[in-house]
Amino acid sequence: MSIRASVRALSRYHFTPRASTVKLDQNESPSDLPEALKAEAVTRLSASSWQRYPELHPQTLERAIARRHDWDPEGVVVANGSNVLLQALVIAAGIGQSVVTVTPTFPVYAMQAQLLGGDLVEVPLGPGFRLPGAELAAALRGRRGVAFVANPAAPTGNLHSREELAPLLAAIDDDWLLVLDEAYADFARSDHLDLVARQPQLVSVRTFSKAFGLAGVRVGYLLAHPEVAVEVRKALLPFSLSSLQAAVALTVLDHPAYVEGRVALAVRERDRLFQALTELPGVVPLPSATNFLLFRVERPDQVYAGLLERGVAIRRQDHLPGLDGYLRVTAGALDENDAFLRALREVLEPEVVGG
């Protein structure tokens, strides 16, 4: 077999769908795009010529995103999912060089480094899942390449402060790109675009999958200095975003109040879930700046299985380094969250519920 040994040795990205009536395991939006907005997107798509290629790079969408963030359109790069942009950044700055990140974190960073032949350096998160800024800065010395930091963090959900980031920011020079994966920034009401605007070596990566509720459409974008954007585009295949994807994304951008409403609901439900979990004996939730919560329990395998038996799917995280005992739940709709809490109480206190 001619497949490279490094590819054959790599574990595949794995997710097993579970049959459930309450799906809270992938950090998705709990509600679909309203029919009126779907119809608007279809009307926009119908106005395009389907026999023609879409824009070589989706410049119309890039300009709309630039307006949303008051950004130079030449510094916006759109692709069919933020994962594709993460891969493009490794291609552009990591192959034959280094990829530095933390652990635990979003696994795509490490997977792409290993797949594409970057020298992977992983630094454990500090106590309380704090960002190890000084240790990351030390990992950069004598190397060049790309570093990835998810902020808010995944899967832990915490927001790294400017103080935590400071040593890393000070260490970034022309030998490095620092990628701030801000997929959950809307839920945190915080981002680092002011830093990206000041430092050409910084990049912010965003997605339409979370706050916009378009995980099935697959659209992501990055915000960077134009000279960085030019190089990242070289790592993307031409015509990679379809007319359908562009039409849906443009439609949702036309309705900022709708997006803000989704975010506000997710934040309210996240905070309500957090409070409810703190009141359950044996459950330790972590504060979150995202649309999900990480929480620790005894016997996470049994709790996970018990929830699934009751039709509630969440995500195990106890296999990850430093996350023994932890499970993750997405903040869903009000009724979904209530169903999760009822099921969790039954699993934790069967003798009381059975009364």
Q: Compute the average pLDDT of residues 215-236.
A: 97
Q: What is the pLDDT of residue 1?
A: 75
Residue 43 falls inside a structural domain: no
Residue 98, helix vs strand vs coil: strand
Predicted structure pTM score = 0.93
Cis bond before residue 104 (omega within 30° of 0) = yes
Residue 265 sits in the same domain as residue 242: no
Q: What is the domain-level CATH number for residue 129?
A: 3.40.640.10
Q: Are residues 121 and 240 in the same domain?
A: yes
Token pair recorded at residue 132: 């190890």
Same domain, 116 and 203: yes
Angstrom distance (rounded) from CA 113 to CA 90 = 7
Q: What is the mean pLDDT of residues 194-211?
A: 97
Q: Is the same domain home to 92 and 229?
A: yes
Residue where the block lists tokens 């990850």: 320
Q: How confident is the model at residue 352 (pLDDT cuts 50, 70, 90)?
A: very low
Residue 349 in this model has a pLDDT that exceeds 90: no
Instruction: Write phi, then psi, for 96 (nearest 5 degrees).
Output: 75, 5
Whether residue 211 is found in the same domain as residue 295:
no
**pLDDT reading at 8 higher than 90:** no
Residues 200 and 119 in one domain: yes
Tell me, yes or no, whether 157 lies in a domain: yes
Q: What pLDDT shows up at residue 109?
A: 97
Q: What is the mean pLDDT of residues 312-326?
A: 96
User: Both 150 and 211 in a single domain?
Assistant: yes
Which residue carries 């034959």 as its tokens?
96
On whether the CB atoms of residues 59 and 75 are closer than 8 A, the answer is: no
Is residue 172 domain-shared with residue 308, that is, in the same domain?
no
Domain assignment present for 69: yes
The predicted pLDDT at position 353 comes to 43
Q: Tell whether 247 and 261 lie within a shared domain.
A: no
Confidence check: pLDDT of 351 > 60: no
Instruction: Single out the residue in 253, 275, 290 at which a domain terminates.
Output: 253
pLDDT confidence bin for 147, thresholds 50/70/90: very high
Residue where a domain stops, chosen among 191, 220, 253: 253
Q: How confident is the model at residue 354 (pLDDT cuts 50, 70, 90)?
A: very low
Residue 354 neighbours by CB under 8 Å, 6+ apart: none
Structural domain ending residue among the three candidates 236, 253, 270: 253
- Tally of residues, the chain: 355
196 and 132 housed in the same domain: yes
pLDDT at 132: 96
Closest alpha carbon to 29 in 248, 207, 215: 215
42 within domain boundaries? no
Q: Which residue has the higher pLDDT, 75 or 355?
A: 75
Q: Are residues 223 and 308 in the same domain?
A: no
Range of the domain at 172: 50-253
Banded pLDDT at 2 (limits 50, 70, 90)? confident
**Total domain count, the chain:** 2
Residue 142 CA: distances (Å) to CA of 121, 139, 151, 355: 13, 8, 25, 64
| CATH code of the domain in which 346 resides | 3.90.1150.10
One-letter identity of residue 307: L
Q: Residue 321 is which amino acid?
A: P
pLDDT classification of 328: cutoffs 50, 70, 90: very high
- pLDDT, tens only, 68-108: 999 999 999 999 999 999 999 999 999 999 999 999 999 99
Residue 11 forms part of a structural domain: yes
Same domain? 183 vs 101: yes
Q: How confident is the model at residue 227 (pLDDT cuts 50, 70, 90)?
A: very high
Question: Residue 235 domain-assigned?
Answer: yes
* Percentage, residues of the chain above pLDDT 90: 92
